[in-house]
Amino acid sequence: MHFTAGNTPDAPRSDLPELLSALATDLRGAGYTVDGVAGLLGESANAALGRDQLIPALIVTEAAEKGDQHAAALAAVVRLWLLAVPQRADVLDAALPGIRTEGLLALGLVEPAGTDTDTGAVRAKADLRPYSWSGDATADTDSSGGADLWVASDLAAHQQPGVLRHDHVLGIGQASTTLVRTTIRRPVGRALDLGTGCGIQSFHLLHHAEHVTATDISARALAFTRFNMLLNAEALHIDPASPESRVSLRLGSLLEPVAGETFDLVVSNPPFVITPRSLGEAAADQFTYRDGGLPGDDIVASLVRALPSVLAPDGTAQLLGNWEVAAGTPWSERPQSWAGPDVDAWFIQRELVGPEQYAETWLQDASEARDRQHYQDAYAAYLDDFASRNVEGIGFGMIYLRRPADGARPVISRFEEITYPIEQPVGPHLGAAVERADWLAANDLAAAHLLVAEDVTEERHQRPGAEHPGVILLRQGAGLRRTNLLSTELAGFVSACDGDLSVGQIIGALEALLGGEDGFDGGAFRDGLLADVRNLVRDGFLLPA
């Protein structure tokens, strides 16, 4: 169902264009940007705020309120929306002179505080914070130079008392920024943001997609997305009078709202959290921003299986997910069972935690630890649920899928664990890896000329007094920062990769040099070394000249 409502209960209004324009002008004038807030707070208080610790920022902004007019105005806005401190109407009128407190009330961004009625104090009804990125931070195809935006969402757990509402609209969190940095950016015609939430993935898609469809099962989430789109219409190149020409909002579950359609790119930060189900539980009892309503990891499994049906030829999908790891089995067993044989699939597990840590993380996430008995019961339910399926670990990671072009065959089937720090954003490096896989499938490697990638270094380790090194390593300084253990002959091959000789010529020279021993199998040597070289090209240590 198409969603065009501009006035949804308990969500900011997006049907008042003059007020939205005035708000954007005022926020810009107050310096309410990522850099502006960082400059006001200072490095340590800003870093603490990033960890949801408010006290240092409260101290700094309280002092700034007594400073010059500009600092006082910015401090008032920061205290209102980032620190959830009620503000007097006259203070906000001075800080935001175009929209004033009256306009904020009309948009549903604030509400009467219930105290200090003589001054008409108001408190934040939603979180509204600056968000930005530079053009080269997310996309090598984005020539816009990036964007400075403002993003509205529900107040988070650290900004309000009690357990979060079950239809809570999540703001910009670690998972959403992970997906932003993971997505391979390329110009596309049609993109799908599945489970849009507050709209952050769509903001980035709009800079390299002609049209974006954003779906969610929550009408409140779509209302927040619509508000954010129109508040940032200029930066996102949206015509406020005709937003549907660039963005289509759809209400519904998973792929239902786009049945029969295809897309060049799908991104999704789905409600992948594995939550115990109970008999008689209704949708209203679940946290819609994280719980998919299915048992175990079925929400991610169903998406991986179904997404190829909405991909155009050569279309790709990137998403995050959790998967269960049964006792005594490899972590990749379940993900491998989801990926069909006719689709390129690449899973990278970034983290593996036990049931206890998993329960603690998500109970804390929704502030469910504030009621001791509820916390104890919910914790036990998590452990019982995992035990019922013999689950000893829960993996988290990144998923890449591609529907091959018509007539083409899949060339990628990778299931790997990378838990150490990697370069961010990693999306461009994942895109380069896909290009290398395609190049390997289309070219005769033996005839190719190769170069060592610029970020690659070699390490040699040997025992004191030893004539030869016992360990030779290749290390990447960029991207996925892989390390590869080399044999002596493979190290010799890499050292000869200056683009002059072909792969076959270098292997032939090494065979002539090393093949004088009895029992030497030249065919096995050539095949084995060529396979090793293929892996080095696949992983980006060696590149076509």
Q: What's the CA gap between 233 and 13, in Å, rounded? A: 15
User: What's the pLDDT score for residue 522?
Assistant: 86
Q: For 204-235, what is each residue's pLDDT tens digit?
A: 999 999 999 999 999 999 999 999 999 999 99
Place of tokens 């992948």: 272
User: What's the pLDDT score for residue 158?
Assistant: 84
- In this structure, how many other beta carbons lie within 10 angstroms of the beta carbon of residue 218? 22
For residues 232 and 25, is the Cβ–Cβ distance under 8 A? no
Per-residue DSSP letter, 274: -
CA atoms within 13 A on the CB side of 126: 29
Of 16-25, 365-374, 467-476, which range is least confident?
A: 365-374
Supply the pTM of this predicted model.
0.91
Place of tokens 């013999």: 390
Q: For 382-399, what is each residue's pLDDT tens digit?
A: 899 999 999 999 999 999
Q: What's the CA gap between 476 and 458, in Å, rounded? A: 9
Q: What's the CA gap between 101 and 395, in Å, rounded? A: 46
Q: What's the CA gap between 182 and 177, in Å, rounded? A: 9
pLDDT at 143 > cutoff 50: no
User: What's the pLDDT score for residue 5?
Assistant: 82
Place of tokens 């208080």: 45
**Can you list the domains of the chain with their CATH numbers?**
17-129 (no CATH), 138-440 (3.40.50.150), 443-544 (3.90.930)
For residue 346, list its beta bridge partners.
Answer: 400, 414
Beta strands in 74-219 (DSSP E): 110-112, 122-124, 127-134, 146-153, 188-194, 209-216
Q: Which of 260, 203, 12 is nearest to 125 (CA)?
A: 12
Phi, psi at 368, each rounded to 5°: -80, 0
For residues 226 and 269, is the Cβ–Cβ distance under 8 A? no
Tokens matching residue 358: 């998993």
Query: Mean pLDDT, the chain, as a whole number?
Result: 91
For residues 246 and 239, is the Cβ–Cβ distance under 8 A? yes
Q: What's the CA gap between 131 and 150, in Å, rounded? A: 6
- In this structure, how many other beta carbons lie within 10 angstroms of the beta carbon of residue 219? 18
Q: Which of 413, 404, 348, 424 is nearest to 138 (CA)?
A: 424
Q: For 233-272, what is each residue's pLDDT tens digit?
A: 999 999 999 999 999 999 999 999 999 999 999 999 988 7
Q: For 65-99, what is each residue's pLDDT tens digit?
A: 888 899 999 999 999 999 999 999 999 999 999 99
Q: For 104-129, what is each residue's pLDDT tens digit?
A: 999 999 999 975 555 689 999 999 99
Alpha helix positions (H), 269-354: 298-306, 333-338
Pairing state between β 188-194 and 413-417: unpaired
Q: What's the CA gap between 366 and 379, in Å, rounded? A: 13
